Structure 1
Amino acid sequence: MTQLKLSLQLFSMRELGHLDHQLHAAASAGFHFVEPLENHLLDKGALADGLRRYGLEAPTAHVSLESLQVKPQELIHACDECGIETLFAPHPWRTFHAQGELAWRKLGLDLGAVAELLGGKGIGFGYHNKSAGLTAKPGARCGIDVLFDAARGSRLLWQADIGWIHNAGASPSEWLRRYQGLLASAHVKDRAPEGANVDQDGWSDVGAGVLIWPSLWREAIRYGARTLVVEHDNPKDPADFAKRSFEYLSRFLVP
Protein backbone atom coordinates (compact mmCIF):
# COMPACT_ATOMS: atom_id res chain seq x y z
CA MET A 1 0.00 0.00 0.00
CA THR A 2 1.21 3.53 -0.80
CA GLN A 3 2.52 5.42 2.22
CA LEU A 4 -0.07 7.60 3.91
CA LYS A 5 1.08 11.24 4.04
CA LEU A 6 -0.14 13.87 6.50
CA SER A 7 0.53 17.23 4.88
CA LEU A 8 -0.08 20.91 5.62
CA GLN A 9 -1.61 23.30 3.08
CA LEU A 10 0.60 26.41 3.02
CA PHE A 11 -2.43 28.61 2.32
CA SER A 12 -3.09 28.25 6.05
CA MET A 13 0.36 29.70 6.80
CA ARG A 14 0.20 32.72 4.50
CA GLU A 15 -0.12 35.28 7.32
CA LEU A 16 3.32 34.26 8.58
CA GLY A 17 4.81 36.06 5.60
CA HIS A 18 7.99 34.78 3.97
CA LEU A 19 8.01 31.19 2.71
CA ASP A 20 10.85 30.38 5.10
CA HIS A 21 8.63 31.29 8.06
CA GLN A 22 5.82 29.14 6.72
CA LEU A 23 8.03 26.10 6.23
CA HIS A 24 9.65 26.58 9.64
CA ALA A 25 6.21 26.59 11.28
CA ALA A 26 5.17 23.45 9.39
CA ALA A 27 8.29 21.54 10.40
CA SER A 28 8.12 22.80 13.98
CA ALA A 29 4.53 21.53 14.26
CA GLY A 30 5.69 18.04 13.28
CA PHE A 31 4.77 17.88 9.60
CA HIS A 32 7.02 16.13 7.10
CA PHE A 33 4.90 17.11 4.08
CA VAL A 34 3.44 20.40 2.83
CA GLU A 35 1.18 21.44 -0.05
CA PRO A 36 2.49 24.60 -1.75
CA LEU A 37 0.53 27.08 -3.84
CA GLU A 38 1.07 28.28 -7.38
CA ASN A 39 3.03 31.36 -6.32
CA HIS A 40 5.51 29.09 -4.53
CA LEU A 41 6.07 27.07 -7.70
CA LEU A 42 6.78 30.22 -9.68
CA ASP A 43 9.89 30.64 -7.52
CA LYS A 44 10.83 26.98 -7.70
CA GLY A 45 14.42 27.52 -6.59
CA ALA A 46 13.34 29.11 -3.31
CA LEU A 47 10.76 26.38 -2.72
CA ALA A 48 13.22 23.57 -3.41
CA ASP A 49 15.83 25.16 -1.12
CA GLY A 50 13.29 25.70 1.65
CA LEU A 51 12.02 22.14 1.49
CA ARG A 52 15.59 20.82 1.79
CA ARG A 53 16.41 23.21 4.63
CA TYR A 54 13.55 21.98 6.80
CA GLY A 55 13.55 18.33 5.75
CA LEU A 56 10.12 18.64 4.11
CA GLU A 57 8.60 17.12 0.97
CA ALA A 58 5.82 18.47 -1.23
CA PRO A 59 4.03 15.53 -2.86
CA THR A 60 1.13 17.76 -4.00
CA ALA A 61 0.52 21.41 -4.87
CA HIS A 62 -2.34 23.71 -5.85
CA VAL A 63 -2.25 25.41 -9.25
CA SER A 64 -5.06 27.12 -11.13
CA LEU A 65 -6.58 25.49 -14.19
CA GLU A 66 -6.03 28.70 -16.13
CA SER A 67 -2.28 28.70 -15.46
CA LEU A 68 -1.96 25.05 -16.44
CA GLN A 69 -3.67 25.83 -19.71
CA VAL A 70 -1.43 28.85 -20.41
CA LYS A 71 2.01 27.87 -19.09
CA PRO A 72 2.11 24.13 -18.42
CA GLN A 73 5.82 23.67 -19.15
CA GLU A 74 6.89 26.20 -16.52
CA LEU A 75 4.82 24.41 -13.89
CA ILE A 76 5.98 20.96 -15.02
CA HIS A 77 9.60 22.08 -14.58
CA ALA A 78 8.76 23.34 -11.08
CA CYS A 79 7.25 19.96 -10.21
CA ASP A 80 10.38 18.18 -11.43
CA GLU A 81 12.68 20.43 -9.38
CA CYS A 82 10.60 20.30 -6.20
CA GLY A 83 9.59 16.63 -6.28
CA ILE A 84 5.87 17.34 -6.69
CA GLU A 85 3.99 14.28 -7.91
CA THR A 86 0.42 15.56 -8.24
CA LEU A 87 -1.17 18.94 -8.93
CA PHE A 88 -4.69 19.89 -7.92
CA ALA A 89 -6.70 22.73 -9.43
CA PRO A 90 -9.10 24.40 -7.00
CA HIS A 91 -12.59 25.08 -8.29
CA PRO A 92 -12.27 28.28 -10.41
CA TRP A 93 -14.85 30.18 -8.38
CA ARG A 94 -13.59 33.62 -9.46
CA THR A 95 -14.34 32.92 -13.12
CA PHE A 96 -16.95 30.15 -12.98
CA HIS A 97 -20.20 32.10 -12.85
CA ALA A 98 -22.56 29.89 -14.84
CA GLN A 99 -24.15 27.07 -12.86
CA GLY A 100 -25.82 25.13 -15.69
CA GLU A 101 -24.85 21.68 -16.90
CA LEU A 102 -23.10 23.05 -19.99
CA ALA A 103 -20.68 25.04 -17.83
CA TRP A 104 -19.94 22.07 -15.59
CA ARG A 105 -19.46 19.84 -18.62
CA LYS A 106 -16.96 22.27 -20.17
CA LEU A 107 -15.08 22.44 -16.89
CA GLY A 108 -14.87 18.65 -16.80
CA LEU A 109 -13.60 18.49 -20.38
CA ASP A 110 -10.98 21.17 -19.69
CA LEU A 111 -9.80 19.42 -16.52
CA GLY A 112 -9.66 16.08 -18.32
CA ALA A 113 -7.52 17.56 -21.11
CA VAL A 114 -5.02 18.95 -18.59
CA ALA A 115 -4.97 15.60 -16.77
CA GLU A 116 -3.97 13.90 -20.02
CA LEU A 117 -1.27 16.48 -20.74
CA LEU A 118 0.27 16.21 -17.28
CA GLY A 119 -0.15 12.45 -17.14
CA GLY A 120 2.00 12.19 -20.24
CA LYS A 121 4.73 13.93 -18.25
CA GLY A 122 4.37 11.65 -15.25
CA ILE A 123 2.43 14.13 -13.12
CA GLY A 124 -0.97 13.38 -11.64
CA PHE A 125 -3.72 15.98 -11.83
CA GLY A 126 -7.03 16.41 -10.04
CA TYR A 127 -9.91 18.71 -9.22
CA HIS A 128 -10.32 20.28 -5.77
CA ASN A 129 -13.92 21.13 -4.89
CA LYS A 130 -15.35 24.08 -3.03
CA SER A 131 -19.02 24.09 -2.01
CA ALA A 132 -20.40 24.55 -5.53
CA GLY A 133 -21.91 21.65 -7.43
CA LEU A 134 -22.53 19.39 -4.45
CA THR A 135 -26.29 19.83 -4.25
CA ALA A 136 -28.88 20.10 -6.99
CA LYS A 137 -32.37 21.42 -7.48
CA PRO A 138 -35.15 18.86 -8.15
CA GLY A 139 -34.84 17.45 -11.64
CA ALA A 140 -31.23 18.61 -12.09
CA ARG A 141 -27.88 16.90 -11.68
CA CYS A 142 -25.20 17.93 -9.23
CA GLY A 143 -22.53 19.94 -11.02
CA ILE A 144 -19.70 17.72 -9.83
CA ASP A 145 -21.49 14.66 -11.22
CA VAL A 146 -21.64 16.41 -14.59
CA LEU A 147 -17.97 17.39 -14.33
CA PHE A 148 -16.69 13.89 -13.59
CA ASP A 149 -18.96 12.38 -16.22
CA ALA A 150 -17.52 14.76 -18.83
CA ALA A 151 -13.97 13.84 -17.78
CA ARG A 152 -14.68 10.09 -17.86
CA GLY A 153 -11.89 8.18 -19.60
CA SER A 154 -9.25 10.78 -18.73
CA ARG A 155 -6.71 10.54 -15.89
CA LEU A 156 -8.48 13.17 -13.80
CA LEU A 157 -8.30 12.60 -10.04
CA TRP A 158 -10.15 14.20 -7.13
CA GLN A 159 -8.96 15.95 -3.99
CA ALA A 160 -11.99 16.09 -1.73
CA ASP A 161 -12.25 19.16 0.48
CA ILE A 162 -14.30 17.59 3.24
CA GLY A 163 -14.89 20.89 5.01
CA TRP A 164 -16.49 22.45 1.95
CA ILE A 165 -18.63 19.37 1.35
CA HIS A 166 -19.92 19.76 4.91
CA ASN A 167 -20.48 23.50 4.37
CA ALA A 168 -22.57 22.78 1.29
CA GLY A 169 -24.97 20.75 3.42
CA ALA A 170 -23.96 17.53 1.69
CA SER A 171 -22.71 14.29 3.20
CA PRO A 172 -18.90 13.89 3.04
CA SER A 173 -19.28 10.12 3.51
CA GLU A 174 -21.64 9.85 0.55
CA TRP A 175 -19.43 11.86 -1.78
CA LEU A 176 -16.24 10.03 -0.78
CA ARG A 177 -17.94 6.74 -1.48
CA ARG A 178 -19.44 7.92 -4.77
CA TYR A 179 -16.11 8.86 -6.32
CA GLN A 180 -13.80 6.46 -4.57
CA GLY A 181 -12.35 5.46 -7.93
CA LEU A 182 -11.06 9.02 -8.44
CA LEU A 183 -10.21 10.00 -4.87
CA ALA A 184 -6.46 10.52 -4.39
CA SER A 185 -6.29 13.11 -1.62
CA ALA A 186 -8.48 14.95 0.87
CA HIS A 187 -8.36 18.26 2.70
CA VAL A 188 -8.75 17.80 6.43
CA LYS A 189 -10.40 20.82 8.04
CA ASP A 190 -12.97 21.48 10.72
CA ARG A 191 -15.96 23.73 11.26
CA ALA A 192 -16.60 25.54 14.53
CA PRO A 193 -20.03 25.27 16.17
CA GLU A 194 -22.63 27.66 14.76
CA GLY A 195 -21.82 31.25 15.76
CA ALA A 196 -18.32 30.46 17.05
CA ASN A 197 -14.97 31.59 15.62
CA VAL A 198 -16.56 34.38 13.59
CA ASP A 199 -13.16 36.07 13.36
CA GLN A 200 -11.86 32.91 11.66
CA ASP A 201 -14.73 32.67 9.16
CA GLY A 202 -16.25 29.89 11.24
CA TRP A 203 -13.37 27.43 10.84
CA SER A 204 -11.54 25.76 13.71
CA ASP A 205 -8.47 23.69 14.50
CA VAL A 206 -8.95 20.11 13.33
CA GLY A 207 -10.50 18.12 16.15
CA ALA A 208 -11.96 21.19 17.86
CA GLY A 209 -15.00 21.55 15.62
CA VAL A 210 -18.16 19.69 14.69
CA LEU A 211 -16.87 17.27 12.05
CA ILE A 212 -16.44 13.70 13.29
CA TRP A 213 -12.86 13.22 12.18
CA PRO A 214 -12.11 9.73 13.50
CA SER A 215 -14.72 8.25 11.15
CA LEU A 216 -14.11 10.70 8.28
CA TRP A 217 -10.38 9.97 8.42
CA ARG A 218 -11.03 6.24 8.12
CA GLU A 219 -13.48 6.73 5.28
CA ALA A 220 -11.16 9.03 3.32
CA ILE A 221 -8.42 6.41 3.50
CA ARG A 222 -10.79 3.52 2.78
CA TYR A 223 -12.00 5.21 -0.39
CA GLY A 224 -8.54 6.02 -1.77
CA ALA A 225 -7.01 9.16 -0.23
CA ARG A 226 -3.29 8.74 0.37
CA THR A 227 -2.35 12.37 1.03
CA LEU A 228 -4.37 13.98 3.82
CA VAL A 229 -3.84 17.74 3.80
CA VAL A 230 -4.58 19.81 6.90
CA GLU A 231 -6.08 23.24 6.22
CA HIS A 232 -7.72 26.21 7.92
CA ASP A 233 -8.84 29.02 5.63
CA ASN A 234 -8.32 31.83 8.15
CA PRO A 235 -6.52 30.78 11.36
CA LYS A 236 -6.03 33.40 14.07
CA ASP A 237 -2.64 31.90 14.93
CA PRO A 238 -1.35 29.83 11.98
CA ALA A 239 1.57 28.22 13.81
CA ASP A 240 -0.61 27.23 16.76
CA PHE A 241 -3.28 25.86 14.40
CA ALA A 242 -0.67 23.70 12.68
CA LYS A 243 0.70 22.40 15.98
CA ARG A 244 -2.68 21.61 17.56
CA SER A 245 -4.05 19.98 14.41
CA PHE A 246 -0.96 17.82 13.97
CA GLU A 247 -1.11 16.71 17.59
CA TYR A 248 -4.75 15.69 17.15
CA LEU A 249 -4.33 13.90 13.82
CA SER A 250 -1.03 12.16 14.54
CA ARG A 251 -2.93 9.69 16.75
CA PHE A 252 -4.61 8.36 13.60
CA LEU A 253 -1.33 7.62 11.82
CA VAL A 254 -0.41 3.95 11.70
CA PRO A 255 3.35 3.33 12.06
Structure 2
Amino acid sequence: MDFSYQLYSARNEASLDETLKTLAGLGYTQVEGWGGQFADPAALAQSLRNAGLSMPTAHMGYGQLEDTDAALKIVDQVGIQTVYCPAPPSEDYRNGTGNWAEFAEGLARIAAAFKAAGKGFGYHNHHWEFVKDANGKTPMELILDASPDTQWEMDLAWVIRANEDPLYWIDKLGSRITAVHVKDIAPAGEKLDEDGWADVGTGTLDWPNYINQIKAKTKAKYFVAEHDKPSDAIRFARNAAAALKSYGV
Protein backbone atom coordinates (compact mmCIF):
# COMPACT_ATOMS: atom_id res chain seq x y z
CA MET A 1 0.00 0.00 0.00
CA ASP A 2 1.04 3.57 -0.57
CA PHE A 3 -0.57 6.96 -0.18
CA SER A 4 -1.64 9.17 -3.04
CA TYR A 5 -3.05 12.66 -3.61
CA GLN A 6 -6.26 13.46 -5.47
CA LEU A 7 -5.29 16.29 -7.80
CA TYR A 8 -8.81 17.73 -7.70
CA SER A 9 -7.73 19.10 -4.33
CA ALA A 10 -5.15 21.23 -6.17
CA ARG A 11 -7.40 22.24 -9.08
CA ASN A 12 -6.92 25.95 -8.31
CA GLU A 13 -3.12 25.85 -8.31
CA ALA A 14 -1.54 27.88 -11.11
CA SER A 15 0.85 25.23 -12.44
CA LEU A 16 0.26 21.50 -12.58
CA ASP A 17 3.96 20.87 -13.24
CA GLU A 18 5.00 22.82 -10.16
CA THR A 19 2.31 21.15 -8.07
CA LEU A 20 3.50 17.69 -9.10
CA LYS A 21 7.10 18.53 -8.26
CA THR A 22 6.03 19.93 -4.88
CA LEU A 23 4.05 16.78 -4.11
CA ALA A 24 7.06 14.63 -4.95
CA GLY A 25 9.15 16.74 -2.59
CA LEU A 26 6.61 16.10 0.17
CA GLY A 27 7.03 12.35 -0.21
CA TYR A 28 4.23 11.43 -2.59
CA THR A 29 5.06 8.88 -5.26
CA GLN A 30 1.54 8.65 -6.70
CA VAL A 31 -1.32 10.96 -7.57
CA GLU A 32 -4.93 10.41 -8.60
CA GLY A 33 -6.07 12.34 -11.65
CA TRP A 34 -9.48 13.79 -12.44
CA GLY A 35 -11.46 14.32 -15.63
CA GLY A 36 -10.47 17.91 -16.28
CA GLN A 37 -6.82 16.93 -16.74
CA PHE A 38 -7.11 14.57 -19.68
CA ALA A 39 -7.38 16.97 -22.62
CA ASP A 40 -3.75 16.22 -23.51
CA PRO A 41 -2.87 12.78 -22.11
CA ALA A 42 0.62 12.74 -23.62
CA ALA A 43 1.52 16.05 -21.97
CA LEU A 44 0.11 14.84 -18.66
CA ALA A 45 2.16 11.64 -18.88
CA GLN A 46 5.29 13.71 -19.53
CA SER A 47 4.54 15.98 -16.57
CA LEU A 48 4.22 12.93 -14.32
CA ARG A 49 7.52 11.54 -15.58
CA ASN A 50 9.23 14.87 -15.05
CA ALA A 51 8.10 14.89 -11.42
CA GLY A 52 8.91 11.21 -10.83
CA LEU A 53 5.28 10.39 -10.07
CA SER A 54 2.83 7.75 -11.29
CA MET A 55 -0.96 7.93 -11.66
CA PRO A 56 -2.27 4.44 -10.90
CA THR A 57 -5.83 5.67 -10.33
CA ALA A 58 -8.00 8.40 -11.78
CA HIS A 59 -11.50 9.84 -11.80
CA MET A 60 -13.45 10.19 -15.04
CA GLY A 61 -17.01 11.44 -15.24
CA TYR A 62 -19.77 9.19 -16.52
CA GLY A 63 -20.16 11.20 -19.72
CA GLN A 64 -16.46 10.80 -20.45
CA LEU A 65 -16.62 7.10 -19.64
CA GLU A 66 -19.54 6.43 -21.99
CA ASP A 67 -17.03 6.80 -24.84
CA THR A 68 -15.22 3.85 -23.35
CA ASP A 69 -12.74 3.34 -26.19
CA ALA A 70 -11.55 6.95 -25.89
CA ALA A 71 -11.33 6.65 -22.11
CA LEU A 72 -9.22 3.52 -22.40
CA LYS A 73 -6.85 5.26 -24.81
CA ILE A 74 -6.29 7.94 -22.16
CA VAL A 75 -5.75 5.25 -19.55
CA ASP A 76 -3.07 3.62 -21.70
CA GLN A 77 -1.31 6.88 -22.51
CA VAL A 78 -1.10 8.03 -18.90
CA GLY A 79 -0.38 4.62 -17.35
CA ILE A 80 -3.55 4.47 -15.25
CA GLN A 81 -4.52 1.07 -13.83
CA THR A 82 -7.96 1.74 -12.36
CA VAL A 83 -10.55 4.42 -13.09
CA TYR A 84 -13.32 5.38 -10.68
CA CYS A 85 -16.46 7.21 -11.74
CA PRO A 86 -16.59 10.02 -9.16
CA ALA A 87 -20.32 10.83 -9.02
CA PRO A 88 -23.69 10.28 -10.68
CA PRO A 89 -24.14 11.99 -14.04
CA SER A 90 -26.72 14.64 -13.15
CA GLU A 91 -28.46 16.57 -10.40
CA ASP A 92 -31.41 14.15 -10.65
CA TYR A 93 -29.50 11.62 -8.59
CA ARG A 94 -28.66 14.19 -5.97
CA ASN A 95 -32.23 15.35 -5.48
CA GLY A 96 -33.70 11.85 -5.39
CA THR A 97 -35.21 11.53 -8.87
CA GLY A 98 -32.42 9.68 -10.69
CA ASN A 99 -32.74 6.06 -11.80
CA TRP A 100 -29.94 4.43 -9.84
CA ALA A 101 -30.63 0.92 -11.18
CA GLU A 102 -30.22 2.16 -14.75
CA PHE A 103 -27.06 4.03 -13.81
CA ALA A 104 -25.70 0.91 -12.12
CA GLU A 105 -26.21 -1.08 -15.32
CA GLY A 106 -24.35 1.59 -17.27
CA LEU A 107 -21.45 1.35 -14.85
CA ALA A 108 -21.53 -2.44 -15.20
CA ARG A 109 -21.13 -2.15 -18.98
CA ILE A 110 -18.14 0.14 -18.53
CA ALA A 111 -16.64 -2.24 -15.96
CA ALA A 112 -16.91 -5.12 -18.43
CA ALA A 113 -15.10 -3.15 -21.13
CA PHE A 114 -12.36 -2.12 -18.71
CA LYS A 115 -11.93 -5.69 -17.53
CA ALA A 116 -11.63 -6.90 -21.12
CA ALA A 117 -8.87 -4.32 -21.60
CA GLY A 118 -7.04 -5.52 -18.49
CA LYS A 119 -7.94 -2.46 -16.42
CA GLY A 120 -9.89 -1.93 -13.23
CA PHE A 121 -13.05 0.13 -12.89
CA GLY A 122 -15.10 1.30 -9.95
CA TYR A 123 -17.24 3.95 -8.33
CA HIS A 124 -16.49 6.66 -5.79
CA ASN A 125 -19.26 7.63 -3.38
CA HIS A 126 -20.54 10.85 -1.90
CA HIS A 127 -23.50 10.84 0.51
CA TRP A 128 -26.29 10.44 -2.08
CA GLU A 129 -25.53 6.74 -2.47
CA PHE A 130 -26.83 5.84 0.99
CA VAL A 131 -30.49 6.91 0.74
CA LYS A 132 -32.50 3.68 0.77
CA ASP A 133 -35.10 2.96 -1.89
CA ALA A 134 -38.55 1.45 -1.30
CA ASN A 135 -36.97 -2.00 -1.10
CA GLY A 136 -34.46 -0.95 1.55
CA LYS A 137 -31.53 -0.95 -0.88
CA THR A 138 -29.00 1.85 -1.08
CA PRO A 139 -27.72 3.09 -4.44
CA MET A 140 -24.25 1.96 -3.37
CA GLU A 141 -25.53 -1.59 -3.09
CA LEU A 142 -27.36 -1.36 -6.42
CA ILE A 143 -24.13 -0.23 -8.10
CA LEU A 144 -22.07 -3.08 -6.68
CA ASP A 145 -24.82 -5.67 -7.18
CA ALA A 146 -25.02 -4.84 -10.89
CA SER A 147 -21.57 -6.29 -11.60
CA PRO A 148 -18.90 -8.15 -9.62
CA ASP A 149 -16.37 -6.20 -11.69
CA THR A 150 -17.39 -2.78 -10.34
CA GLN A 151 -15.05 -1.86 -7.52
CA TRP A 152 -15.63 0.67 -4.75
CA GLU A 153 -13.41 3.60 -3.91
CA MET A 154 -14.80 4.40 -0.48
CA ASP A 155 -14.83 8.09 0.41
CA LEU A 156 -15.02 7.38 4.11
CA ALA A 157 -15.74 10.93 5.27
CA TRP A 158 -18.67 11.20 2.87
CA VAL A 159 -20.02 7.93 4.30
CA ILE A 160 -19.98 9.62 7.70
CA ARG A 161 -21.66 12.71 6.28
CA ALA A 162 -24.40 10.37 5.09
CA ASN A 163 -24.88 9.47 8.79
CA GLU A 164 -23.58 5.98 8.12
CA ASP A 165 -20.97 3.95 10.01
CA PRO A 166 -18.04 3.25 7.66
CA LEU A 167 -17.03 0.24 9.75
CA TYR A 168 -20.42 -1.35 8.99
CA TRP A 169 -19.81 -0.92 5.28
CA ILE A 170 -16.21 -2.10 5.54
CA ASP A 171 -17.48 -5.28 7.22
CA LYS A 172 -20.31 -5.70 4.71
CA LEU A 173 -18.56 -4.89 1.43
CA GLY A 174 -14.86 -4.80 2.21
CA SER A 175 -14.07 -7.27 -0.56
CA ARG A 176 -15.26 -4.68 -3.09
CA ILE A 177 -13.23 -1.77 -1.69
CA THR A 178 -10.01 -1.30 -3.67
CA ALA A 179 -9.14 2.30 -2.72
CA VAL A 180 -10.09 4.74 0.03
CA HIS A 181 -10.27 8.52 0.04
CA VAL A 182 -8.67 9.87 3.18
CA LYS A 183 -10.14 13.19 4.26
CA ASP A 184 -11.11 14.66 7.60
CA ILE A 185 -14.08 16.50 9.08
CA ALA A 186 -13.62 19.60 11.21
CA PRO A 187 -15.42 20.00 14.55
CA ALA A 188 -18.95 21.38 14.18
CA GLY A 189 -18.94 25.05 13.29
CA GLU A 190 -15.27 25.15 12.31
CA LYS A 191 -13.59 25.47 8.89
CA LEU A 192 -16.79 26.77 7.34
CA ASP A 193 -14.78 28.46 4.57
CA GLU A 194 -13.58 24.95 3.65
CA ASP A 195 -17.10 23.46 3.80
CA GLY A 196 -16.35 21.89 7.16
CA TRP A 197 -13.56 19.65 5.88
CA ALA A 198 -10.21 19.49 7.64
CA ASP A 199 -6.69 18.44 6.74
CA VAL A 200 -6.07 14.76 7.42
CA GLY A 201 -5.01 14.32 11.02
CA THR A 202 -6.42 17.66 12.21
CA GLY A 203 -10.11 16.78 12.30
CA THR A 204 -12.48 14.52 14.21
CA LEU A 205 -12.03 11.17 12.46
CA ASP A 206 -10.14 8.30 14.09
CA TRP A 207 -8.03 7.59 11.04
CA PRO A 208 -5.50 5.27 12.73
CA ASN A 209 -8.35 2.91 13.62
CA TYR A 210 -10.01 3.22 10.23
CA ILE A 211 -6.75 2.49 8.44
CA ASN A 212 -6.17 -0.62 10.54
CA GLN A 213 -9.68 -1.85 9.74
CA ILE A 214 -9.27 -1.07 6.05
CA LYS A 215 -5.98 -2.96 5.90
CA ALA A 216 -7.49 -5.97 7.67
CA LYS A 217 -10.88 -6.18 5.94
CA THR A 218 -10.65 -4.72 2.44
CA LYS A 219 -8.70 -5.05 -0.79
CA ALA A 220 -7.69 -1.40 -0.75
CA LYS A 221 -4.38 -0.76 -2.50
CA TYR A 222 -4.47 3.02 -2.34
CA PHE A 223 -5.04 5.59 0.39
CA VAL A 224 -5.82 8.79 -1.51
CA ALA A 225 -5.61 12.07 0.40
CA GLU A 226 -8.36 14.46 -0.64
CA HIS A 227 -9.83 17.76 0.52
CA ASP A 228 -12.87 19.02 -1.39
CA LYS A 229 -12.22 22.71 -0.75
CA PRO A 230 -8.82 23.48 0.79
CA SER A 231 -7.89 27.12 1.25
CA ASP A 232 -4.29 26.03 0.65
CA ALA A 233 -3.82 22.84 -1.37
CA ILE A 234 -0.12 22.54 -0.58
CA ARG A 235 -0.67 22.99 3.16
CA PHE A 236 -3.22 20.21 2.94
CA ALA A 237 -0.82 18.01 0.98
CA ARG A 238 1.93 18.56 3.54
CA ASN A 239 -0.31 17.81 6.53
CA ALA A 240 -1.87 14.78 4.86
CA ALA A 241 1.51 13.28 3.97
CA ALA A 242 2.79 13.72 7.52
CA ALA A 243 -0.36 12.18 8.99
CA LEU A 244 -0.43 9.21 6.62
CA LYS A 245 3.25 8.48 7.28
CA SER A 246 2.58 8.58 11.02
CA TYR A 247 -0.30 6.11 10.53
CA GLY A 248 2.02 3.65 8.83
CA VAL A 249 0.53 3.91 5.35
TM-score, length of structure 2 as denominator length: 0.93
Q: Does 1:207 align with 2:207?
A: no
Partner of 1:145: 141
2:58 aligned to 52, 58, 61, which one? 61
Taking the aligned partners of 1:253 and 1:79, their CA distance within structure 2 comes to 29
Assess if the C-alpha contact under 8 Å between 1:41 and 1:75 holds in 2: no
Q: Does 1:50 align with 2:47?
A: yes
- C-alpha displacement of 1:226: 0.8
2:248 aligned to 213, 232, 253, which one? 253
Taking the aligned partners of 2:117 and 2:109, their CA distance within structure 1 comes to 13
Q: Does 1:240 align with 2:235?
A: yes
Distance 1:210 1:93, change over 3 A: farther
Taking the aligned partners of 1:22 and 1:211, their CA distance within structure 2 comes to 27
Q: Which moved more, 1:39-48 or 1:203-212?
A: 39-48
- What is the letter of the counterpart of residue 218 of structure 1? N
Q: Does 1:83 align with 2:76?
A: no
- What is the letter of the counterpart of residue 35 of structure 1? E
Q: Provide, for residues 172-226 of structure 1, a one-character-per-residue CA deviation record: whole Å limited to 9, x for no partner.
A: 1111221112111010000000000011110011010011000111122221111
1:103-252 pair list within 5 angstroms: 103-136=99-132, 140-149=136-145, 151-152=146-147, 154-222=148-216, 223-252=218-247
- What is the letter of the counterpart of residue 16 of structure 1? E
Taking the aligned partners of 1:174 and 1:25, their CA distance within structure 2 comes to 37
Q: Which moved more, 1:77-86 or 1:206-215?
A: 77-86
- What is the letter of the counterpart of residue 10 of structure 1? L
- C-alpha displacement of 1:143: 2.1
Q: Provide, for residues 95-127 of structure 1, a one-character-per-residue CA deviation record: whole Å limited to 9, x for no partner.
A: 443636x81211111111100011111110001
Taking the aligned partners of 1:253 and 1:93, their CA distance within structure 2 comes to 36
Q: Which moved more, 1:163-172 or 1:139-148?
A: 139-148
Assess if the C-alpha contact under 8 Å between 2:63 and 2:89 holds in 1: no
Taking the aligned partners of 2:133 and 2:41, their CA distance within structure 1 comes to 44
1:35 aligned to 32, 36, 42, which one? 32
Assess if the C-alpha contact under 8 Å between 1:135 and 1:170 holds in 2: no
Q: Superposition RMSD on alpha carbons, in Å?
A: 1.8
Partner of 2:11: 14
- C-alpha displacement of 1:47: 0.9
- C-alpha displacement of 1:160: 0.3
Over the matched positions of the two proteins, sequence identity in percent amounts to 32
- C-alpha displacement of 1:73: 2.1
Unpaired segments ≥5 residues, structure 1: none
Taking the aligned partners of 1:145 and 1:22, their CA distance within structure 2 comes to 36
Number of aligned positions between the proteins: 247
Assess if the C-alpha contact under 8 Å between 2:62 and 2:89 holds in 1: no
Assess if the C-alpha contact under 8 Å between 1:33 and 1:59 holds in 2: yes
- C-alpha displacement of 1:94: 3.1
